[in-house]
Chains A and B, each alone.
Chain A
Amino acid sequence: EVQLLDSGGGLVQPGGSLRLSCAASGFTFSKYAMSWVRQAPGKGLEWVSGLNDNGGNINYADSVKGRFTISRDNSKNTLYLQMNSLRAEDTAVYYCAKGCDISCYRSDYWGQGTLVTVSS
C-alpha cells in the first residue's frame, strides 16, 4: 500500500525558515517523480515544486522560486521542501504527492498534508 507521511509544519514568523519532509513507503520511491502541492485556507490547490526520479530535473512555481528548495534522498525514501524567507501568503496545508513515473507530475497518491502558518 502506497503511503506518504508529511511532517515538519508549524508556526513560523515572517522571514523565517521551515523544512518539510515526506516519508514514502509501499512503492519504489527512486523510480517516481515527486511534487509538493499547497492549499491556502479556503482556497484551491497550487502546485509548488517537483523533481524527477533522480533529482536531476527540478521545477518551481514562480511564487516560490528562489525561496524554496525541493530535494530527495532516495536512500531514505524521503522528499524534502526547504522553505526560506517565508511570507504570510505561504500559509497553507502542504501536501507531498507521488508522480506517475520517473518524470510525470500528475499525482496518483497524496500525503495527508502538513499545516504551515506564517504569522508574527
Chain B
Amino acid sequence: DIQMTQSPSTLSASVGDRVTITCRASQSLSQYLAWYQQKPGKAPKALINRASFLESGAPPRFSGSGSGTEFTLTINSLQPDDFATYYCQQYYTSPFTFGPGTTVDIK
C-alpha cells in the first residue's frame, strides 16, 4: 500500500500569511494527488485535483504543485475561513490512502 505523510501536523498562522503544507508519498503517484479541506463536524470539501488543478468553486488563493512523491498545497493570504484541517489523498492505486492531515490554526 502507498503510505502518505504530511508536514507539519499543525501550523499556526495569522490572517494574511502565506502557508505551505507538504505531502509525501512512499512511491510515485505521477500527478494523482488531491487535496481536501475539512472543518469540525463537516464533510471534507475538494480543493485541488491532479496535484495542481483547482476544483470548481475553490478560491484561487489555493494552489497545488508537485509530482511523483512530493506535493505542496499553498494558501496565499490566509483568510479567516481557511482555518481548518487539510488532507492529501492519492488516487493512483487502491487503497486510495489519505495523509494524516494538517491543522491550520490561529496564531
Contact = CB atoms under 8 A, between A and B. Distances in A.
Given A45-B44, A108-B55, A110-B44, A62 B95 contact: yes
A105 B91 contact: yes
A59 interface: yes
Interface string A101-120: 00011111111110000000
A44 B89 contact: no
The 10 closest A-B pairs by CB, nearest first: A59-B94, A110-B43, A106-B34, A106-B91, A45-B98, A44-B101, A47-B96, A105-B96, A61-B95, A105-B91
Contacts of A105: 91, 94, 96
Contact of B97 (A47, A95, A112): A47
Given A45-B89, A50-B96, 4 more contacts: A37-B98, A104-B91, A105-B91, A107-B89
Contacts, number: 59
B100 interface: yes
Interface of B: 1, 32, 34, 36, 38, 43-46, 49, 55, 87, 89, 91, 94-101
Contacts of B55: 108
B22 to A, nearest CB: 16
23 contacts: A37-B98, A44-B98, A45-B36, A45-B38, A45-B87, A45-B89, A45-B98, A45-B101, A46-B98, A47-B89, A47-B95, A47-B96, A50-B94, A61-B95, A62-B1, A104-B91, A105-B91, A106-B89, A106-B91, A107-B89, A108-B46, A108-B55, A113-B43
B94 A108 contact: no
B97 to A, nearest CB: 6
A95 B46 contact: no
A100 interface: yes
Interface string A31-60: 000010100000011110010000000011
B100 A44 contact: yes
